[in-house]
Amino acid sequence: MHNAMAAISYEGDLRTAAQHIASGTVIHTDAPIDNKGKGQSFSPTDLLCVSWASCQLTIMGIKAEEAGLEVPSIKVKVYKTMANKPRRIGAIAMEIDMRGKYYSPEEKQLLESAAHGCPVCRSLSPDIQLKTHWIWAS
């Protein structure tokens, strides 16, 4: 087995703490209100959606750096829709606001292709409907 990257503990009351071993950073999760929780932190399914968005931004940043493109602050909103029977994520929608800088059509294509090829996206079930809405500067 490989070295562990996280140590996770159940703290009771439908709450967990995950510590990133290399940095010591801790993330808490809480069950959502609609599933017997208090909704005081991200739920595990929230983190999956956030992981998808964060991964896309990271891969876009890598590709932009390789191409010598400046990437200003990008704002993303993520929307999650749950499905039932079984309870799972049914859809994730993302709005990526790229209005911080003007990009040529070729640069837009490079960044969009990079985002859609992120490892998290490639790891998600095809049963999850994924939608990305891009907002570009005019």
Report yes or no on 1 lying in a domain: no
CATH number for the domain harbouring residue 88 = 3.30.300.20
Q: Structure tokens of 85?
A: 């029977």
The whole-number mean pLDDT for each consecutive block of 10 residues of the chain, a chain of 138 residues, reads: 92 96 97 93 96 96 95 92 95 96 94 95 96 94
The answer to whether residues 91 and 122 belong to one domain is yes
Report yes or no on 62 lying in a domain: yes
Spell out a b/e string for 87-124, using b for 16 or more CB atoms within 10 Å of the CB, else e: eebeebebebebeeeebeeebeebbbebbeebebbeeb
Q: Considering its fold, how many domains does the chain have in total?
A: 2
Q: 32 near 39, Cβ under 8 Å?
A: yes
Radius of gyration of the chain (CA): 17
Question: What pTM was computed for the model?
Answer: 0.89
The answer to whether residues 31 and 48 belong to one domain is no
Q: 42 near 50, Cβ under 8 Å?
A: yes
Q: For position 81, what pLDDT does the model report?
A: 97
The answer to whether residues 24 and 72 belong to one domain is no
Sequence-separated contacts (24+) of 81-87 with Cβ below 8 Å:
81/129, 82/34, 82/45, 87/35
Report yes or no on 61 lying in a domain: yes
The answer to whether residues 120 and 63 belong to one domain is yes
The answer to whether residues 12 and 48 belong to one domain is no
The residue range of the domain holding 25 is 6-35
The answer to whether residues 49 and 73 belong to one domain is yes
